Amino acid sequence: MLNHYHIQVRASSAKALSSFMRDLTAQFTRMYNRRYALIGRLFSGQFANASKTKDQKIKENYIYICNNPVVKRAVSRAESYRWNFLAYMDCPNPFSKPADPDTCSEAMKLVLAAVRVRRKMNRPVDYLFFEGAYSRLTDEEKRQVLDYIVAQYNVIDYAEARKKWGDYSTICTMLATVSGSEYDLAEESVKEDYRHYYKMIRLSKNEGYDLTRTRLGGLPLSEQYRLAVLFQDEVGASAAEITKFLHAPF
């Protein structure tokens, strides 16, 4: 999601899960802070978790995760959201045309080779990767690379999902008619509309801010207030949404 993530994992113990989450968040925080010249914590608090041992609970949790972008109004159907990886169950490149290694550009070949090397070395695709040759690709090539990256790094157990639910079409139909609820974790009381975030991103770009390089929370307070008023007037975003987007309290 735009400001948080969900993950369903099979762990041998609570200790193993904590260790995994510590390493995951620490590595991402290091990459993020290095990219934006920041220090300190990135995530607002310790991760929350709930054990799912019964089959029905596992299924409900799967529904909850896949449908989260629908609930947040980022998309109308779960399979339309790239980052829940649902569509990759059916196809390795659901959001682009297949890349032809014989006819693609030299820049494209270079980027795909870089992904393969990183994957073989068990290294992540970090922020610096997207500032290199990737940034010079066409929009279609970028979509192809993103699909390729997900396919290379994907660790979701689709075989287990099919065993519980059936084929891809059955899962999509089920998700469109059922809403899973994560009752075991404390949910935020503020309802978010992700359409507001996407509009604020576009407005920020129109105001001359490159959000791949600039954190709005680092701007002078007067400029943050100006943007906050703009977002409220033009987007209709709530104070909570604006606060999250700007990384600043108002």
Same domain assignment for residues 41 and 105: no
Same domain assignment for residues 6 and 98: no
Amino acid symbol at 12: S
Same domain assignment for residues 98 and 126: yes
Question: What is the tally of structural domains in the chain?
Answer: 3
Tens digits of residue pLDDT in 88-107: 999 999 999 988 878 899 99
Q: At residue 190, does pLDDT exceed 80?
A: no
Tens digits of residue pLDDT in 152-173: 999 999 998 898 888 999 999 9
Instruction: Report yes or no on whether pTM surpasses 0.85.
Output: no
Same domain assignment for residues 58 and 43: no
- pLDDT category, 213, cuts 50, 70, 90? confident
- Residue 24 structural domain: 1-49
Within 8 A by CB and 6+ apart from 35, the residues are 126, 127, 128
Same domain assignment for residues 173 and 203: no
143 falls within a domain: yes
As to burial, measured by CB atoms within 10 angstroms (0-12 exposed, 13-18 middle, 19+ buried), residue 2 is middle
Taking the CB of residue 86, how many other CB atoms lie within 10 A of it? 26
CA distances from 135 to 118, 127, 130, 248 (A): 18, 11, 6, 29
Same domain assignment for residues 67 and 42: no
Q: At residue 142, does pLDDT exceed 70?
A: yes
Tens digits of residue pLDDT in 15-60: 999 999 999 999 999 998 888 888 888 887 788 888 888 888 888 8
Q: Percentage of residues in the chain with pLDDT exceeding 70?
A: 94
pLDDT score recorded for residue 56: 84
pLDDT score recorded for residue 186: 61
Q: At what angle do helices 139-153 and 106-120 cross, to 10 degrees?
A: 20
28 falls within a domain: yes
Same domain assignment for residues 69 and 45: no
> Last residue of some domain: 147, 177, 207?
177
Rounded to whole angstroms, the Cα distance separating 196 from 144 reads 27
In the chain, % helix, strand, coil (3-state, to 5) comes to 60, 0, 40
> Last residue of some domain: 134, 149, 177?
177
Same domain assignment for residues 170 and 69: yes
Same domain assignment for residues 10 and 111: no
